[in-house]
Amino acid sequence: MQKRKLGKSGLEVSAMGLGCMRMSFGDKPTDKQEMIAFLRKAVERGITFFDTAEVYGPFTNEELVGEALEPFKGQVVIATKFGWKHGEKGPHPSVGVDSRPEQIKRVADASLKRLRVEVIDLFYQHRPDPNVPIEDVAGAVKDLIQAGKVKHFGLSESNAELIRRAHAVQPVTALQSEYSIWWRSIEESILPTCEELGIGLVPYSPLGRGYLTGKIDENTTYDNTDIRRNNPRFTQEAIKANRVVIDLLERVASQKGATPAQIALAWLLAQKPWIVPIPGSRKLERLDENNGAVAIELTPDDLSQIDSAMSQITVVGDRY
């Protein structure tokens, strides 16, 4: 597995990371022991970058990742996140955000225990909190870094202004945002800001929540626990209308002896050398397929053809 550095931070990770959310949240339930075995096989295949969050589950995803990766301490990089408010039924996006410094520090201590580590490799603010100045958020993480509890500070879904303000207080190692061949809004101001400041980009949903694999059609059904069940891009109409994106990926894939998913991931990797996608596989064949994207080279001509074709396509349905 090739390695990449997240911006100028020196944090080196596998060129393809692994998003762990769906192993215990937002999709059909899975067997914990199966997922532990899967995570350990991912390490054997060269994955060193794993993404989780306290809100996934809640809490159960961090516990799963912590138990699975405990034998590989020091060999892998685990990223987790803070920033959701805790309701009586546990943290949930609908309960609201909470990035007060005391909450950040409380979450860090709890995450350290669940992840079974002495230090959190990368600690993201999960979503901006309009009630807490970003300088206070960055300052709280700076305190945690000085205390030896956190190594690197990250942001997620932040705009260019917030990134700059946070970075001035505590250098930001990575920004996690949705980015893929069919969701490119960060290209206007956020991507150039990351480049200027030397911040790595970690795209989540790099395969469009599974749509860009080409394996979803208008007859696909979703479990009650699957977050795509109410997603505007997964209505029958949107699935049918967006088929043109899959047709494009399939055309390029046939020229490269690849799959649509591999082309979607290779396209991301080709954008910048400091981009590390985190597709959320749960099956070994999918993991191997995704990892195969690292070896696919898209030429400048390939990339320009893809950009030109995408500029003629109107993607139907918002991302949330």
Q: What is the pLDDT of residue 88?
A: 56
Query: Which residues does 121 contact at the CB level (< 8 Å), separation at least 6?
Result: 11, 77, 78, 79, 151, 152
Provide the pLDDT for residue 89.
55
Q: Global pTM?
A: 0.94
pLDDT for 70 equals 98
Do 279 and 207 meet the contact criterion of CB atoms below 8 Å apart? Answer: yes
Q: Would you state the pLDDT for residue 90? A: 54
Domains of the chain: 3-208+268-296 (3.20.20.100)
Q: Which residues are catalytic?
A: 56
DSSP-based three-state secondary structure for 30: coil
Give the chain's residues under pLDDT 70. Answer: 87-94, 320
State residue 91's pLDDT score.
Answer: 54
pLDDT given at position 151: 98
The token duo for 78 is 């685990």
| SS3 (DSSP) at 51 | strand
How far is residue 252's CA from residue 245's CA, in Å, rounded to a whole number?
Answer: 11
Q: H/E element holding 34?
A: helix 32-44
Looking at residue 280, its pLDDT comes to 94
